[in-house]
Amino acid sequence: MVLSRHFGKPIRVVALVSLFQLLTAVSARPAGLDRDAGNWRSYFGNDKAWSYSALDGINRTNVGRLLPAWAFSTGETGLSATPLVIDGVLLLPTPRNQVFALDAATGRRLWTYSGKLPERVGVRTPLALASGFGLVFLGSTDHHLIAIDEKTGREVWNVQLEDPKQCGCSSSAAPLIVKDKVVIGVSGEVAHRGYLDAFDARTGKRAWRFWTIPGPGEPGHETWPEELWKFGSTSTWYVGSYDSELNLIYWGMANPGPMLGGDYPGAKLYSESLVALDADTGKLKWYFQELPNDKLDFDSVLEPVLIDAEEGGKLRRLVVHPTKSGFTYVIDRATGKFIRAYPFADAINWTKGIDKNGRPLEPRLTLEPGVETLVCPGALGARAAGHSTFSPHTRLWYNTSYEICTGETAIQGKAPQEGQGFNSASFTGSGIPPDTHPFIAAFDPVTGARKWTSPTNAPNVSSLMSTAGDVIFGGDIFGNAWALDATSGEKLWSFNIGTGISSMPVTYTVGNRQFVAITGGLSVVGSTLAKAVLKPEELAKLPPTGAVLFVFALPETDTGAKP
């Protein structure tokens, strides 16, 4: 079946269900390291989920002179990892439970950690690490949390979170180090009860577990049908953020099961919620549910970005939280009070907006059997993979919108079975409406005012990184690493690395030289998205899927002049 009546031309039908089991993950850094600008100790670069570097040696006046400095191939396929860089050593995880330690200036291999491979390789892949206490922490594809000695690559401890053969889940949600604990979530769009775990960073002993679905006798349990709470999913796909002064962890919760459709009633807490947890105990401090009883797979798992800004005439601690639904929520991170929501996508038809209480206006959440419903954003979301960036230098928030709609039809769902896929709707095709285009845009993070828009040649699945040099780095599915002017959106530089990009660039220094690193090897997420929306002639231009790390720098004779 095609969606020609929606988009004016045939669009190929593709299998999209795998996308929701293959989302990539990210990680965060220990508190107190934000001034360590020459290193990149975690995915986000700080506990606030900014994906920002204070380095400015590479800036908008000289970024066009970037050249390859070195490259490294892992010998695999589908590499969309984000490396860490610690004191001149670059640490790169791979889909096969490996970690390579490389000289960050030359690419020379220092050591390799090779973990046990699960029976199914590369289904869910660890794509980021966390570091602290002289250890590197890896969430493995066989649902283990592993601590590795940062200097030698020796395994220090290894704990199994759960048996993946039973739960059908994974720990591809990367770790977050908070004080003396390592916090890690669970991934999987299956009939299972979601959770968030915290372990002692030095010993691997579990410190606490927060269940994303309340059990009997717990507040919120009454919002679930009795037959569903054990199988309601509500995974914690991505990593959260942390406010050290409030001692609160912020984490986004996924959709309830079934993934799409279903006739189950109830708000289903804490699905589709942003939660704030006490970092020491894992106890819930507050929550805000962005979409009660979601039936369209509009996960709330994207990054909670922490900023301080003037609101209502006073300085407030805020969390800026984008969701797959196409809306960004602004919430007081001390109290959980809703302030406002604004759209970051153009193609939205499932609601007429968000009201003053944070609830959708006239939402269209019901799918009917035998009737194809066009949903915008579709099952792929306005953004499902990759992450945004906030620059304290420009005070702007930079984000991606896919602009993809999906045809969806209700089906007779099967009764949930532990660890098995759980769905009550089918996909009949996906496409970009003819009157819109995927883009990257700059927003005022508090008001949602859009400052500029930069159209992309296809939906962007790479994460974004901003720098104090007023540059935004990213990459596309055709293999182009690129840089945009953070103040205007103008493209300043690009270089094709020969394989599609679905990772996030990082920048660091060794000595006095600044480098920019980005991995290539289009993930299954990116490949699935590309096949869903690209024309045959565009698909033919996609480069082969590889596994390469490219590192760029200015010529050594370059003065690195600043604006």
In whole angstroms, how large is the CA radius of gyration of the chain?
Answer: 22
- Residue 52, token pair as written in the block: 């920002």
Which sign, positive or negative, has the C-alpha torsion 16, 505, 59, 308? positive
Q: Mark whether 299 is an active-site residue.
A: no
Cβ atoms of 406 and 1 within 8 Å: the answer is no
The DSSP output letter for 413 is: P
The DSSP 8-state label assigned to residue 416 in this structure reads P
Q: Are strands 52-53 and 465-467 parallel, antiparallel or unpaired?
A: parallel
Quick one: residue 255, left, alpha or beta (phi over 0 = left, psi -120 to 50 = alpha)?
A: beta
DSSP annotation of 93: E
* H helical segments located in 327-383: none
Direct distance between the N- and C-terminal alpha carbons of the chain, in angstroms, rounded to an integer: 54
Per-residue 3-state assignment (H helix, E strand, C coil) for 514-556:
EEEEEEECCCHHHHHHHHHHCCHHHHCCCCCCCCEEEEEECCC
CB atoms within 10 A of CB 153: 17
Residues paired with 111 in a beta bridge: 101
| Distance separating alpha carbons of residues 203 and 192, to the nearest angstrom | 28
Distance of alpha carbon 520 from alpha carbon 372, whole angstroms: 36
* Residue with the two structure tokens 């797979």: 297
Buried b (16+ CB within 10 A) or exposed e, 20-41: bbbbbbbbbbbbebbebbbbbb
Catalytic residue among 56, 197, 243, 297: 297
User: Within 13 Å and on the Cβ side, how many CA atoms surround 361?
Assistant: 11
Q: Look up residue 294 and give its amino acid.
A: D
Report the C-alpha gap between 233 and 230 in whole angstroms: 8
Residue type, 545: T
CA–CA distance, 174 with 193 (Å, rounded to integer):
18
Q: Which residues are catalytic?
A: 297
